[in-house]
Chains A and B, each alone.
Chain A
Amino acid sequence: GAVVSQHPSRVICKSGTSVKIECRSLDFQATTMFWYRQFPKQSLMLMATSNEGSKATYEQGVEKDKFLINHASLTLSTLTVTSAHPEDSSFYICSALPKGTGQGEQYFGPGTRLTVT
């Protein structure tokens, strides 16, 4: 089956620093990848849609200058949390939609837990 990896799985950083999270589709090409955020005991909130070779589309209320998304290839998207603050601490999950897929099945990465101290 389709596999999506994320790196790192867990990261602790100091307030004011930037953190990059990678999302890779390992055995398929993904023209579209999605970035979600999940607070404890809450559902997934879509942050942005990342399309290969073009700018990401951000959901309302998500600061694009703070959460930089780059989708440089058909198998890699990165999310950079710039000038991180404790309130950015969360579980970040990416998902990838296989190229040519007409409907529905996004494949999720294992998630990255970010803690900002």
Chain B
Amino acid sequence: EDKVVQSPLSLVVHEGDTVTLNCSYEVTNFRSLLWYKQEKKAPTFLFMLTSSGIEKKSGRLSSILDKKELFSILNITATQTGDSAIYLCAVEPYNTDKLIFGTGTRLQVFP
């Protein structure tokens, strides 16, 4: 059965800290891995990763995929209170447009 597991489930840090969120997966016919940020409503797209070892970066956020070890990490440097959210990892297999979501990591950043 396809599954996506994120860790930690919850993380509390202070502003300025750097955090690393983990996502591991077991999926038949992997096509891509996506990261989303969810605040109060629907998830907003952050990154899509398809190739191993190539870092995607957007401001203080970056992500990388390791297809051999079947995981991805999302890094956030110099965290701000606005980074407080649930971060969702999802995997898309080939031959389907479905996304398999992980459990999510709830990040709380305090001033």
Whether A67 sits at the interface, judged by CB under 8 Å, is: no
The reply to whether A108 and B97 contact each other, CB–CB distance below 8 Å, is no
Whether A32 sits at the interface, judged by CB under 8 Å, is: yes
> Quick one: which of A32, A41, A42, A109 contacts B97, CB cutoff 8 A?
A32
- Chain B interface helix/strand/loop/mixed: strand
The reply to whether A44 and B97 contact each other, CB–CB distance below 8 Å, is no
Q: Which range holds the interface residue count of chain A? A: 20 to 34
Q: Closest residue to A1 on the B side, CB-wise?
A: B45
Contacts of A107 in B (CB 8 A): 45
The reply to whether B97 and A49 contact each other, CB–CB distance below 8 Å, is yes
List 3 tightest A-B contacts by C-beta distance, closest first. A108-B42, A44-B101, A110-B41
Chain A to chain B contacts (Cβ below 8 Å), 16 pairs: A34-B99, A43-B101, A43-B102, A45-B101, A46-B101, A93-B43, A97-B97, A103-B32, A103-B92, A104-B32, A104-B48, A105-B34, A108-B44, A109-B42, A110-B41, A110-B42
